[in-house]
Each structure stands twice: as C-alpha cells, then as structure tokens.
Amino acid sequence: MQTTLRLLIQHLLTIILLIVGFFQQTIAHTVIEPPKIAEGKPSNNHIVITHGCGESPVIGHSIVFPDGVDSTITVDGNPHNGSIDEFLLNWGGAIQFIQDRSLFSEQDRKTDANGNTTGLWFGGGRTLAPYAWGRIPFVSSAILFNDASCAKSVIINIAAADICRITGIGNMNNGDAVNFWTPAVGSKYDGLPGGHAYDLPVTFTVNRNLKTNPLLESCGGTSQQVTVSPSAEQVDRDMPIIFDGTQVWPRL
C-alpha cells in the first residue's frame, strides 16, 4: 500500500513539474492576447513582449502577419495548395493598426499593394527593461469563415522579432541582438536550428461560430484545423523596419 502511494505521489509530482515547465516556457514567449478570437466578432488584441535578449532591453519590435497571397497552408497537418479564401473570407483586411505611444515613440503599419496591413513595427523613445513585460495593441476585425469549408479553427502563425540591438542581418544571432519568434519557412529571419525559440512563432487562433455557421453535412461530422504561415518571401519583404523611407533595421 505504501509503495503504491509513493509511486502515485511521484507520478503526480512528475506531472506537476511538467505543467510548471510548460507554463514557464509559455509565459516566456512573446504572445498575442487574447490567443483565441471568435468568428464574426472584432477583438482588441495585444502583442505581449515578456523578456529582453538576456540582460539587454528591447528597443523595438517588428511583426509580420501572413498576407494570404502566397502563404503556407496546412490542413490537419498536411500541406494544402489552395487559397486562404477557402477558409476565411475576409482575412486580407482583418488587422487594424492602433497608434499608441505608451511603450515606443515611433510606430507604423506595413501594407501590401491593396493597402491591407501585413505587419507592424515599433521603436524609439523608451526601452523595455529585460525583466519587464510590454503590451502593444492592435485590432482584429470581424473575421468570417467560408461556410463551404469544413474548418473549425484557423491558426495564424506570425513572424515576430523583439529587437534589442541594431545590427546587420549577419549579426542577429549573437543572443543579445534580437529574439525571433518566427515560423521556420526558409526566410532570413528563421533564426538558427536549435537556437532560442527556433520555429516557435507567435500565434493566434480564429474559432468558427458553429451555432451561426455550422459545418455542412458534406463534412461528415469531421472538422478541420487549418494553419496559415507567411511565406519566406513575405517575411523577407515585410520584416525590416522602414522609417521615413530608410531601412533602419536590420542595418544595411
């Protein structure tokens, strides 16, 4: 009896340690809050920076949302060659920039040829202490699912960089220059395999409203989970910070 109880306690302690370890990794990750949004409802969101580059403070931030044009799409983990419009009807204009200088003094959005917001950048003024959290607001508008799809949720993978030191692109993996939170898509901003947060992008999830937009009978009662990531070409294009017509990060 005592042996069984001891084994049970050891098992519970192991589970608790795993949960604590996961929680610590999660809160140390630059994230978006809320991490999940509902179909058809606008949402006030924040990019939450949770730490600096070691002992170095964060002096700027750059983020890239998949534009849906040449994005990488998977369905239940399998590559999908179709368009994001098969799953989300109005993704192109979903992200809205909020001007807020409470953290950084300079900021702007990045746009595509149609004026859709494909990314945001922030910098200048104050720095964010390496031990402090910082919150940057933006809005996601009412996103709508394609009712012909079998998608129950769409995970949006986002490429982000917490910038601690201005360097050229060849010196960004030294540990004190930048924290990348990017999907490994083959871009210049992937980071190093085995390095800090490699292939660990910022994410948020759009959940279908199954009451107002139920799955069709043709789905056979089976829903799909879709993941959308920016292409390497888009990350390389949209990650740099351009200020007054000049690229200020990474240094050319």
Question: Which pLDDT does position 126 carry in this prediction?
Answer: 87
Question: Which pLDDT does position 195 carry in this prediction?
Answer: 83
Residue 20 domain flag: no
Question: Which pLDDT does position 11 carry in this prediction?
Answer: 47
Question: Which pLDDT does position 157 carry in this prediction?
Answer: 98
Query: Residue 99 belongs to a domain with what CATH number?
Result: 2.60.40.2230
Question: Which pLDDT does position 25 carry in this prediction?
Answer: 40
pLDDT in tens, 115-134: 999 999 999 998 999 999 99
Distances 86 to 28, 49, 78, 80 between C-alpha atoms, Å: 34, 32, 15, 11
Quick one: 153 exposed, middle or buried, by C-beta within 10 A (0-12, 13-18, 19+)?
middle
- pTM to 2 decimal places: 0.87
What's the domain count of the chain?
1
Residues of the chain with pLDDT under 50: 5, 7-27
Q: Rounded CA gap, 71 and 228, in Å? A: 6
CA distance between the termini of the chain: 69
Question: Which pLDDT does position 175 carry in this prediction?
Answer: 77
Residue 22 domain flag: no
Contact 161, 181 (CB under 8 A): yes
For residue 218, what are the contacts with CB-CB under 8 A and spacing of at least 6? 150
**Parent domain of 51:** 32-249
Question: Which pLDDT does position 7 carry in this prediction?
Answer: 45
Residue 9 domain flag: no
